[in-house]
Amino acid sequence: MTATATPVVLPSDWRDFFALTKPRVMSLVIFTGLCGLLAAPEGINPVIGFTAILCIALGAGGAATLNQWWESDLDAGMKRTAQRPLPAGRLAHGDALTFGIILSVGSVIVMGLAVHWLAASILAISILYYAVIYTIWLKPRTPQNIVIGGGAGAFPPMIGWVAVTGEITAMPILLFAIIFMWTPPHFWALALFVQSDYAKVGIPMMPVVKGEASTRRQILIYAVLLLPFVIAPWWIGGTGAIYGIVALVLTLAFIALSVPVATRRAVEGDSMKPEKRLFGFSILYLFALFAALVVDRFVSPLWNL
């Protein structure tokens, strides 16, 4: 008689549920949402504003939970993700699914009731975008997965802005476009130094399918294409010069760091320093760019900039 292996689930605590929300990644998602909210004209009642950001955080955490519930087999096969609560057996799948659904549905309902139904609808779209369109549909099928899927992470500043104004205008669309164009260099820089992991579990990430040279070229192309999008808010008069100058300097630095990544080939045992530097800078870049947007909103009018 052969024994059937029953998965062992170790006792879980709140830390495992917290880890399911991908808190480090989502910190930037929440920050860009907060900046969208603060940069919007008119301003918002602080309690309603806080509720809106809480809903973005809970919704993003819910979507990240559903992503890991769906992908626990893949995560088990990659060194970077094998210690996550589900593949490590610290959490039952059913509990993760329930947690993900409660956060996702709850955040949308609270956003709708307490803040605005248009903001709630965009939040619902972004959760479905990340959990279904990106995770279930695009990620296992096409190397364009993160180009199209990048839309999921681009919604938060638009949600923050719309929570205040109740309408979708040029500025929130541009904030969406900025993160959309930023995502490919952000992720492909990382994929270049963890690509063996993705190949192992059959995920068609760009470096695995199209090769390193093509990925490196595309990183630079997206970094350059990002420039008109980051300048556009200043150009259309949606921000002052503080944002414009910071955006220009930051993006030129982003392009400058993409050049060595685009023009080199990794050799056996390579430390992948330029790729790691670009990935690290991509995160700092978005934090600084969105911080500049908020500083500009409050300081530029004082100086008539």
Ligand X SMILES: CC(C)=CCC/C(C)=C/CC/C(C)=C/COP(=O)(O)OP(=O)(O)O
Binding site for ligand HEM (CB under 6 A): 22, 24-25, 27-29, 32, 80, 134, 146, 149-150, 153, 179, 183, 186-187, 190, 283, 286
Query: Which positions from 31 to 60 touch ligand X by CB under 6 A, shown as an x/- string?
Result: -------------------------x--xx
Judge whether 45 and 53 are in contact, CB under 8 Å.
no
Which residues 153-182 are close enough to bind ligand X by CB under 6 A?
A: 153, 155-156
Q: Which of these ranges, 111-119, 147-155, 169-177, 283-291, lies near ligand X under the rule CB under 6 A?
A: 147-155
Regarding 293 and contact with ligand X (CB under 6 A), the answer is no
138 binds, among ligand HEM, ligand X, none (CB under 5 to 8 A by kind): none
60 binds, among ligand HEM, ligand X, none (CB under 5 to 8 A by kind): ligand X
**17 CB-near residues (< 8 Å, 6+ apart):** 85, 91, 99
Q: Which of these ranges, 36-44, 119-127, 208-216, 273-281, lies near ligand X under the rule CB under 6 A?
A: 119-127
Q: Which of these ranges, 123-131, 221-229, 257-265, 282-290, lies near ligand X under the rule CB under 6 A?
A: 123-131
Cα 289 to Cα 271: distance, rounded to the nearest angstrom: 29
CB of 4 vs ligand X, minimal distance in Å: 29
Residues that bind ligand X (CB under 6 A): 22, 25, 29, 56, 59-60, 63, 67, 71, 81, 123, 126-127, 130, 139, 152-153, 155-156
